[in-house]
């Protein structure tokens, strides 16, 4: 199978990534949003969420079993080693899911919205 051409759409918070992605989507271009994929890989029942729970304890989980992003954010941004551990766990899974979604896209190219491109 021929690999799809990928266009990276990147930038900081509130710079217009979503606006630009929506304009491409309105033209029928497939958008792969890595922020959404980052949530998907740690959805309730996922192996990654289980690992995060084992590492950081129940205080990073909400009552419904989903990830308490605020609690986790406080923990990992206060401790660079914990942040590195979390990134080493999640980034490969996000990359694999990005690759799969790009290859499943229809059309000659796909726009990948990714705030952490570099």
- Sequence spans of domains, the chain: 5-113
| Prediction pTM value | 0.87
pLDDT confidence of residue 41: 97
Q: How confident is the model at residue 117 (pLDDT cuts 50, 70, 90)?
A: low
Decide yes or no: CATH 3.10.20.740 for domain 5-113: no
> Rounded mean pLDDT of 61-80?
95
Q: What is the pLDDT of residue 43?
A: 96
Average of per-residue pLDDT across 73-96: 96
Task: DSSP for the chain, please give it.
Answer: -PPPEEEEE--STTSSHHHHHHHHHHTT-EEEEHHHHHHHTTSTT-HHHHHHHHHH-GGGB-TTSSB-HHHHHHHHHH-HHHHHHHHHHHHHHHHHHHHHHHHH-SSSEEEEE-TT--
């Amino acid at each position: 199978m021929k690999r799809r051409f990928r266009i990276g759409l990147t930038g900081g918070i509130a710079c217009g990534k979503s606006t630009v992605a929506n304009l491409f989507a309105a033209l029928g271009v497939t958008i792969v949003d890595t922020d959404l994929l980052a949530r998907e890989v740690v959805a309730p029942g996922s192996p990654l969420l289980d690992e995060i729970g084992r590492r950081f304890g129940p205080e990073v989980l909400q009552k419904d079993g989903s990830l308490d992003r605020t609690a986790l954010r406080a923990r990992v941004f206060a401790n660079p080693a914990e942040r590195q551990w979390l990134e080493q766990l999640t980034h490969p899974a996000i990359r694999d899911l990005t690759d799969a979604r790009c290859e499943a896209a229809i059309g000659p190219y796909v726009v990948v919205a990714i705030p952490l491109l570099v």
